[in-house]
Amino acid sequence: MMRKKGRVYIVGAGPGDPELISVKGLKALKRADCVLYDFLSSPLLLKHVKKSAKKICVGKSDRIHLKEQDEINRLLYNNSLKFKHVVRLKGGDPFIFSRGAEEARFLLESGVDIEVIPGITSAIAGPESFGIPLTVKDKVQSVAILTGRKRDPSADIDAPDCETLVYLMAVANIANVVKALVKSGRPASTPCAFMEKVTTPEARITKATIETIADEVKRRRIKSPAVLVVGEAVNYFRES
Protein backbone atom coordinates (compact mmCIF):
# COMPACT_ATOMS: atom_id res chain seq x y z
CA MET A 1 0.00 0.00 0.00
CA MET A 2 1.28 3.50 -0.85
CA ARG A 3 2.45 5.44 2.19
CA LYS A 4 0.36 8.46 3.18
CA LYS A 5 1.93 11.65 1.89
CA GLY A 6 3.84 13.78 4.40
CA ARG A 7 3.55 17.50 4.94
CA VAL A 8 5.93 20.03 3.42
CA TYR A 9 6.82 23.00 5.65
CA ILE A 10 7.94 26.01 3.62
CA VAL A 11 10.09 27.78 6.18
CA GLY A 12 11.66 31.23 6.14
CA ALA A 13 15.21 30.93 7.49
CA GLY A 14 15.60 34.65 8.15
CA PRO A 15 18.16 36.98 6.60
CA GLY A 16 21.49 35.51 7.74
CA ASP A 17 21.84 35.40 11.51
CA PRO A 18 20.72 31.82 12.35
CA GLU A 19 19.02 33.13 15.52
CA LEU A 20 16.55 35.08 13.42
CA ILE A 21 14.55 32.02 12.36
CA SER A 22 11.16 31.82 14.15
CA VAL A 23 10.58 29.41 17.05
CA LYS A 24 8.04 27.63 14.87
CA GLY A 25 10.48 27.40 11.96
CA LEU A 26 13.19 25.96 14.20
CA LYS A 27 10.76 23.37 15.60
CA ALA A 28 9.87 22.28 12.07
CA LEU A 29 13.58 22.04 11.20
CA LYS A 30 14.35 19.89 14.25
CA ARG A 31 11.48 17.54 13.42
CA ALA A 32 12.31 17.26 9.72
CA ASP A 33 13.07 13.92 8.06
CA CYS A 34 14.19 15.70 4.90
CA VAL A 35 15.39 19.28 4.32
CA LEU A 36 15.82 21.04 0.98
CA TYR A 37 17.76 24.27 1.41
CA ASP A 38 19.25 27.01 -0.72
CA PHE A 39 22.41 29.14 -0.48
CA LEU A 40 20.78 32.05 1.30
CA SER A 41 19.64 30.07 4.33
CA SER A 42 22.38 30.11 6.97
CA PRO A 43 24.41 26.86 6.90
CA LEU A 44 24.53 27.12 10.72
CA LEU A 45 20.84 26.26 10.82
CA LEU A 46 21.57 22.80 9.46
CA LYS A 47 23.18 21.79 12.77
CA HIS A 48 19.65 21.60 14.19
CA VAL A 49 18.63 18.97 11.65
CA LYS A 50 18.55 15.32 12.84
CA LYS A 51 21.59 13.27 11.77
CA SER A 52 19.27 10.73 10.17
CA ALA A 53 17.51 13.37 8.04
CA LYS A 54 18.14 13.64 4.32
CA LYS A 55 19.68 17.02 3.40
CA ILE A 56 19.50 18.29 -0.16
CA CYS A 57 21.16 21.51 -1.32
CA VAL A 58 19.09 22.88 -4.15
CA GLY A 59 21.50 25.81 -4.28
CA LYS A 60 19.92 28.94 -5.64
CA SER A 61 21.63 32.28 -5.47
CA ASP A 62 21.34 35.31 -7.74
CA ARG A 63 23.62 33.75 -10.34
CA ILE A 64 24.04 30.05 -9.59
CA HIS A 65 21.18 27.60 -9.92
CA LEU A 66 22.32 24.12 -8.92
CA LYS A 67 18.90 22.74 -9.73
CA GLU A 68 16.21 24.06 -12.02
CA GLN A 69 12.84 24.94 -10.51
CA ASP A 70 11.03 21.96 -12.08
CA GLU A 71 13.55 19.63 -10.51
CA ILE A 72 13.13 21.30 -7.09
CA ASN A 73 9.36 20.90 -7.38
CA ARG A 74 9.80 17.24 -8.31
CA LEU A 75 12.18 16.67 -5.39
CA LEU A 76 9.72 18.27 -2.98
CA TYR A 77 6.89 16.11 -4.29
CA ASN A 78 8.88 12.85 -4.32
CA ASN A 79 10.24 13.41 -0.83
CA SER A 80 6.78 14.21 0.49
CA LEU A 81 5.83 10.70 -0.60
CA LYS A 82 8.74 9.21 1.33
CA PHE A 83 8.91 11.34 4.49
CA LYS A 84 6.42 12.60 7.07
CA HIS A 85 8.08 15.99 7.71
CA VAL A 86 9.76 17.70 4.78
CA VAL A 87 11.18 21.21 5.22
CA ARG A 88 11.84 23.55 2.34
CA LEU A 89 14.16 26.11 3.95
CA LYS A 90 14.38 29.42 2.12
CA GLY A 91 16.43 32.54 2.87
CA GLY A 92 14.59 35.48 4.45
CA ASP A 93 10.85 35.14 3.99
CA PRO A 94 9.85 32.29 1.67
CA PHE A 95 7.40 34.36 -0.39
CA ILE A 96 9.40 37.61 -0.81
CA PHE A 97 11.19 37.58 -4.18
CA SER A 98 11.54 33.88 -3.96
CA ARG A 99 9.96 30.93 -5.75
CA GLY A 100 8.29 29.84 -2.49
CA ALA A 101 4.82 30.75 -3.71
CA GLU A 102 5.33 28.74 -6.90
CA GLU A 103 6.54 25.76 -4.92
CA ALA A 104 3.57 26.04 -2.55
CA ARG A 105 1.15 26.21 -5.47
CA PHE A 106 2.75 23.25 -7.24
CA LEU A 107 2.53 21.15 -4.07
CA LEU A 108 -1.08 22.15 -3.36
CA GLU A 109 -2.08 21.35 -6.96
CA SER A 110 -0.32 18.00 -6.60
CA GLY A 111 -2.40 17.23 -3.50
CA VAL A 112 0.44 17.68 -0.99
CA ASP A 113 -0.33 19.10 2.43
CA ILE A 114 1.74 22.23 3.12
CA GLU A 115 2.33 24.76 5.86
CA VAL A 116 4.03 28.10 5.31
CA ILE A 117 6.15 29.42 8.20
CA PRO A 118 7.06 33.05 7.49
CA GLY A 119 10.57 34.38 7.95
CA ILE A 120 12.18 37.77 8.53
CA THR A 121 12.92 39.18 5.11
CA SER A 122 16.27 40.85 4.36
CA ALA A 123 14.20 43.77 3.02
CA ILE A 124 13.20 44.64 6.59
CA ALA A 125 16.06 43.12 8.58
CA GLY A 126 18.70 44.85 6.45
CA PRO A 127 17.71 48.45 7.13
CA GLU A 128 16.53 47.77 10.70
CA SER A 129 19.76 46.02 11.68
CA PHE A 130 21.56 49.25 10.74
CA GLY A 131 19.03 51.40 12.61
CA ILE A 132 17.14 52.56 9.53
CA PRO A 133 13.38 52.53 10.10
CA LEU A 134 11.31 51.90 6.97
CA THR A 135 8.40 53.91 8.34
CA VAL A 136 8.31 56.69 10.94
CA LYS A 137 5.03 57.79 12.52
CA ASP A 138 3.60 60.87 10.78
CA LYS A 139 6.80 61.31 8.72
CA VAL A 140 7.52 58.31 6.52
CA GLN A 141 4.24 56.61 5.80
CA SER A 142 4.71 54.30 2.86
CA VAL A 143 7.20 51.64 1.84
CA ALA A 144 7.60 49.41 -1.20
CA ILE A 145 9.76 46.31 -1.66
CA LEU A 146 10.98 45.98 -5.23
CA THR A 147 13.25 43.98 -7.44
CA GLY A 148 16.30 45.71 -8.85
CA ARG A 149 16.55 43.12 -11.60
CA LYS A 150 13.90 41.82 -13.96
CA ARG A 151 13.95 38.67 -16.06
CA ASP A 152 13.87 40.84 -19.21
CA PRO A 153 17.01 42.99 -18.79
CA SER A 154 15.52 45.72 -21.03
CA ALA A 155 12.41 46.08 -18.80
CA ASP A 156 12.15 49.30 -16.76
CA ILE A 157 12.80 49.08 -13.03
CA ASP A 158 9.89 50.26 -10.87
CA ALA A 159 10.19 53.32 -8.62
CA PRO A 160 6.66 53.92 -7.28
CA ASP A 161 5.53 56.97 -5.36
CA CYS A 162 6.39 55.72 -1.86
CA GLU A 163 8.51 57.43 0.78
CA THR A 164 10.82 54.47 1.32
CA LEU A 165 11.88 52.11 -1.46
CA VAL A 166 13.70 48.86 -0.71
CA TYR A 167 15.36 47.07 -3.61
CA LEU A 168 16.60 43.49 -3.54
CA MET A 169 18.91 42.12 -6.26
CA ALA A 170 19.97 45.64 -7.27
CA VAL A 171 23.79 45.52 -7.20
CA ALA A 172 24.53 44.41 -10.76
CA ASN A 173 21.75 46.56 -12.22
CA ILE A 174 22.37 49.69 -10.15
CA ALA A 175 22.66 51.95 -13.22
CA ASN A 176 19.09 51.09 -14.26
CA VAL A 177 17.79 51.41 -10.71
CA VAL A 178 19.28 54.92 -10.55
CA LYS A 179 17.76 55.73 -13.95
CA ALA A 180 14.32 54.72 -12.63
CA LEU A 181 14.77 56.78 -9.45
CA VAL A 182 15.77 59.88 -11.42
CA LYS A 183 12.88 59.37 -13.87
CA SER A 184 10.47 59.19 -10.92
CA GLY A 185 11.35 62.80 -10.10
CA ARG A 186 13.27 62.19 -6.87
CA PRO A 187 16.01 64.74 -6.16
CA ALA A 188 19.55 63.53 -6.88
CA SER A 189 20.37 64.31 -3.23
CA THR A 190 17.86 61.71 -1.91
CA PRO A 191 19.71 59.53 0.62
CA CYS A 192 20.19 55.84 -0.01
CA ALA A 193 22.21 52.99 1.47
CA PHE A 194 23.40 49.59 0.34
CA MET A 195 23.64 46.94 3.06
CA GLU A 196 25.61 43.78 2.31
CA LYS A 197 25.32 40.38 4.05
CA VAL A 198 22.95 41.80 6.62
CA THR A 199 22.76 40.28 10.13
CA THR A 200 26.02 38.36 9.59
CA PRO A 201 29.47 39.20 11.00
CA GLU A 202 30.45 40.53 7.52
CA ALA A 203 27.54 42.98 7.33
CA ARG A 204 28.52 46.36 5.87
CA ILE A 205 26.62 49.55 5.06
CA THR A 206 27.46 52.15 2.43
CA LYS A 207 25.52 55.40 2.58
CA ALA A 208 25.27 57.66 -0.47
CA THR A 209 22.71 59.57 -2.53
CA ILE A 210 20.89 58.70 -5.74
CA GLU A 211 23.58 60.72 -7.55
CA THR A 212 26.55 58.90 -6.02
CA ILE A 213 25.37 55.35 -5.27
CA ALA A 214 26.45 53.81 -8.61
CA ASP A 215 30.00 55.13 -8.12
CA GLU A 216 30.01 53.88 -4.53
CA VAL A 217 29.10 50.37 -5.75
CA LYS A 218 32.32 50.38 -7.81
CA ARG A 219 34.50 52.19 -5.30
CA ARG A 220 33.51 50.00 -2.34
CA ARG A 221 33.18 46.83 -4.50
CA ILE A 222 29.69 46.22 -3.18
CA LYS A 223 28.60 42.64 -3.79
CA SER A 224 25.42 40.63 -3.69
CA PRO A 225 23.61 39.76 -1.48
CA ALA A 226 22.81 43.35 -0.66
CA VAL A 227 19.72 45.43 0.10
CA LEU A 228 19.32 48.97 -1.22
CA VAL A 229 17.12 51.40 0.70
CA VAL A 230 16.17 54.78 -0.72
CA GLY A 231 14.48 57.67 1.10
CA GLU A 232 14.78 60.19 3.93
CA ALA A 233 14.44 57.35 6.49
CA VAL A 234 18.08 56.46 5.75
CA ASN A 235 19.23 59.47 7.78
CA TYR A 236 16.41 59.49 10.31
CA PHE A 237 18.53 58.90 13.40
CA ARG A 238 21.33 61.17 12.27
CA GLU A 239 18.92 64.04 11.74
CA SER A 240 16.67 63.59 14.77
Ligand X SMILES: C[S@@+](CC[C@H](N)C(=O)[O-])C[C@H]1O[C@@H](n2cnc3c(N)ncnc32)[C@H](O)[C@@H]1O
Q: Is 38 a catalytic residue?
A: yes
Catalytic residue among 5, 17, 90, 169: 169
By CB under 6 A, residue 10 contacts ligand X? no
* Pairing between β-strand 191-196 and β-strand 226-230 as defined by DSSP bridges: antiparallel
Site for ligand X in 47-66 (CB under 6 A): 62
The shares of helix, strand and coil residues in the chain, as percent rounded to the nearest 5, are 30, 25, 45
Closest to ligand X by CB, 5 or 226: 226
Closest Cα partner for 128 from 226, 219, 198, 40? Answer: 198
Q: Is 156 noted as a catalytic residue in this protein?
A: no
* Interface region with ligand X, contact rule CB under 6 A, candidates 70-78, 158-166, 181-189, 219-227: 219-227
Residue 87 CA to residue 89 CA, distance in Å, equals 6
* CB closer to ligand X, 6 vs 124: 124
Give dist(CA 216, CA 5) in Å, integer. 51
- Judged by CB under 6 A, does residue 209 bind ligand X? no
DSSP E strands: which ranges in 74-189? 85-90, 113-117, 143-147, 164-168
Q: From the CB of 38, what's the least distance to ligand X, in Å?
A: 9
Residue 122 touching ligand X (CB under 6 A): yes
Given 38, 90, 93, 207, which residue is catalytic? 38
User: Length of the chain, please?
Assistant: 240
Residues that bind ligand X (CB under 6 A): 15-16, 40, 62, 91-93, 96-98, 121-123, 126, 168-169, 195-198, 224-227
Q: Catalytic residue numbers?
A: 38, 60, 169
